[in-house]
Every structure is written in structure tokens, then in C-alpha cells.
Structure 1
């Protein structure tokens, strides 16, 4: 059974878009050309690969298997092209990186800028996701790397140490806790919180902390933006729990006060998650090395 790379690339596009028309637009081809390629793949496989639905397509079990192997083959070819391309002058390649908001807000902008300034031929697609979504994306191949924060579970993935951050309370000026330097989380639970997105690793950590205290976590509002959380705290709608680096500008401007937590879990370890290290492209390995070296430098 012989497969050409163009057909495999089109099949991956269809699987990721879930729609032949969207896949055709992404690949700059006619829908009929994409449909013909898929039909040829099904003829080679001698089994249906897609389930045609009213609003798109879904993969059959055979299609899921082909998607897994097609991604591996395309990544291997990309890795070969990238490493050979270095001999022609300069590192080139495309990296799909998904990261939690904590990493994206505190660390990644400067680190990616310094990496890309050294390697202008590299393109990085960066997306903000929750920890669970990142683990899924890396596992299914739709992301090359992910950066998550504890305690995100990433079964079946390799994890490399990245940075640590410290969670602190953000409270409005004049709040009962504003004069305190440090408190136990149990004391903070007496007040309503402005909480993060329910699927975030930070939300899970807060829930676990409340359970350990035998107390309920009262979240008056839940939003997905750190800036929105800070703004809501400034207007006295509650207190919040955020990384110290996120709160620092608001504290420096006098809009909020930060209060340290005495719990050990307030210090979080971030990790770079990936599938098989041996399958990574040269440019992806270079980015990992750059991020870990940057994390080792004092801020």
C-alpha cells in the first residue's frame, strides 16, 4: 500500500477541520480535489476513513489510526527537511505551542522573542489553553509542545521541568486582609473569591486547597482573563488567587494589595509536556533547550 505525502497532509487537514470545505480553504485547493484525494485513500485502505455528516465529517476507527500514523510521518518528513535546511543557512521550521495563561503572561513573551530573534526562519503558533486541553492537544498531535502548571495530569506524555511561580492572594485596598503579610488559605476562605475558568489548573488547585481545609470555596464570579479578575477585585467584588508575577503590576500601581499564602502548594512547578522526545524536530528541541536555559537564569 503506497501513500503520497500530499494526500496524507490533506487527510490530516480534513481530520483537524472536521469539514471538507474548511480543509480545502486551509490547503488552498478546490473541495473536489480534496474529496478525490480522500476517496483515493479510502480505496487504498479498502475501508471507509470518514463518516459523512450533515455539517461535516467524523473519523472512523480506521481513520483515527491513519491520522495517528499520518501525523507521525509528516512530522518525520518535516524534521528531515528542517535539519537538512540548516545546511542551506539558518534554522527553519514551524512549532505549535500551547500554554497556560500563567506561563503566557509571566514568562513566554520575552523568551519567545529572544528565540525568534536568533532564528527568524522559525514560525511559532502560540495558543492559550487550559492545562487539560493542552495535555489532550499534545497527546493527539495537534500541538507539538505544551506548557502546563501543577497539578495538571498528563498521562502518557513526557514532562520536562520549566519554571516555578508563586500564588498569592489579591485583595482590594482597605480589605480586612490587606494589612496582613501572609495568611493561611483557610482564613481567605471566609471571603468570596473572583475565580478563574472552571477547567483551569488554578481552579482545580483552589478546590483542592478548600477541601484540605474542610471548607467550601465561595466563588462569586468566574472569568477566564487574569486582567478581568484583577479588575473585578479592584471594584471589591471579591478577593482572588493569582501568580505573583500577574498581580505585581496592579500592586505596583496601588490598585491592589498582595498577601502571601503560607501553604506549600502555593509554589507551583510548571512543565513542558511532549510526546516522544526522540520524535521531536531539531527546531522543537532547540526551543525546549532555549526555554529551559531561560528558566535557569535569575529573573
Structure 2
């Protein structure tokens, strides 16, 4: 047997309203047209589906079964339409976002979560790049929006986004306890845990420390900020990390660095003639930056 979806939709409305008149109204059909459709459905089923009474209709056992399964079929068609439509919704090229490892830790995921939810018509390609590389990609038109540090000169449009200053963290109640600030030279006297040498943060620090900086002893090098913060919290060693990367409720001591290079800021950097979608994503990055860590 083949069922017309509009007939099934009409029948479920009749069942819900308790009358053919009510079902017709829900479907924007005339009463004669709705009655004819219901009779045709009964003829196709080969059994009565409704008991007609003076004040409406009642479902027969067959009618109740049909109504139950019809609701399931209609729900499945809605899910089918949604699944297929998801492949056609992106009508524009993906937004190309570049950002450093610090921004990738919390800021970018928070912004993407709300942006992709609120704007299903847009997709985003994300790449982790150092600031110097991000600026080059943006200037060449190979990226649309970047989260960069404020120490790279550029003629592109920029705007302040969030503080990204570095701090030292260590096990709660340890050697940082009660300290208002600390110099990196003193930090380097203690065992450290750090990011691997190829990470943007490690390379950024190496460039600013120079060859005359004290040589720290790293107990281990890990690939992510999450792993680094976990190790420092557990007492494996001190770690230099962006302050925003550490949740305020974390059970860890946090101590600002005295060194001038530790103070830095995230900027949003736009490619020339950025489309509306890029500005929408920028708004979500600003919202994410305002969320307390």
C-alpha cells in the first residue's frame, strides 16, 4: 500500500482534533475535500478508521494504529529533510580563521561553538599559525580573519580582543604560594614542564629570551596547553602559560611574571574587504573573550 504524506498528516490532525472539521482547518482544506481524503484513506486501508458521531469522530482500533504509525512516519520525514538539507546549507566558501596556540586553547573553540550553532549557513576552516605567519596569510588574501598577538606590525585592520599575558603556575601551596610576582630568571632555577619546541608559544618565548637567558631544566615537553597545565597542577614542575588558559577555579598557584615581554594582547586582524560572515564570526570571538575563565 502507498500512502500520501498529506493524507497521513490530515489523518493525524483529525485524530488530534477529534473531528474532520478540525483536521481540515489545521490543513487549510475545505471540509468536503478533507472528508473525501479520509474516505479514500479508509478505502485504501480496507477497514473503517473512524467512527462518525454527531459531535466529531472516534478512532477505531485500526485508526488508532494508523495514527500512531503515521506520526512516526511524519517525524522520520522531518529528520530526513533536515539531514539532506544540511548538505546544501553552505552556499558560500568557508571562512578561513587563523590563530595561535594560546587562542586555540579556549577562545576559538568557545567562539566557534556559538557561531556554528547560530549561523548554519556558514562553515569555518581553522588553522593554527604563529602571528607572523597569520599576518602574511591575511595580507595575501589566503585567510579571512586572524587572532594575532600585538607585537607584529601590520597595515591590516586590527582591533583589541583579549589580554594574553603570560604567568607562571605551580602546584597549590608550593613555591609560588604567597608570591605577588616573579622574574623568569628565578623561575628558570626550578624544574619546569613546557610545550614542545615546535609550539608557537615556545618559539615566541625563545625569540624574546635570547641566547643569554638562563637555561631551564625541563622535566618533560608536551604538545598541548591542557597537558601542560595538568602536569603543573599535579606538581611535576612550574610552567609558563597564558593566564587565560587557566580556569579561575583551578587548584593551582598563579603568579604574574615581572618581565616586560610577558605582557601581551590578542588582536583580531581582518583581511581586506572581509565579508559580512567574517564580521559575524568576529562578534562571536569578542563574546567568547568576555567570558570569564
Count of residues in Structure 1 that have an aligned counterpart in Structure 2: 203
TM score, norm. by length of structure 1: 0.55
The one of 212, 215, 219 aligned to 2:213: 215
Cα offsets for 1:168-189 (capped at 9, x unmatched): 1111345433342322223212
RMSD: 3.4
Is this contact kept in 2: 1:130–1:199, CA < 8 A?
no
Q: What does 1:172-187 correspond to in 2, within 5 Å?
A: 172-173=171-172, 175-187=174-186
Q: In the alignment, what sits opposite 1:190? A: 189
Question: Please, which of 255, 272, 275 is the counterpart of residue 259 of structure 1?
Answer: 255
Equivalent position of 1:283 in the other structure: 277
Contact 1:230–1:247 (8 Å) recurs in 2: yes
Instruction: Name the residue aligned to 2:166.
Output: 167
Alignment of 1:1-299 (within 5 A): 94-151=94-151, 153=152, 155=154, 157-173=156-172, 175-207=174-206, 210-211=209-210, 215-220=213-218, 221-234=220-233, 236-248=235-247, 252-254=249-251, 256-276=252-272, 278=273, 280-292=274-286, 295=289, 297=290, 299=292
SS at match of 1:183: coil
Change (3 A) 1:215 1:227: same
Answer yes or no: is the 8 Å Cα contact 1:91–1:283 preserved in 2.
Answer: no
Segment of structure 1 superposing worse, 221-230 or 138-147: 138-147
Max radius of gyration: which structure?
Answer: 2
Q: Structure 1 residue 114: deviation in Å?
A: 2.7
Go from structure 1 to structure 2 and tell me whether the alpha carbon gap of 1:217 and 1:226 turns closer, same or farther (over 3 Å shift): same
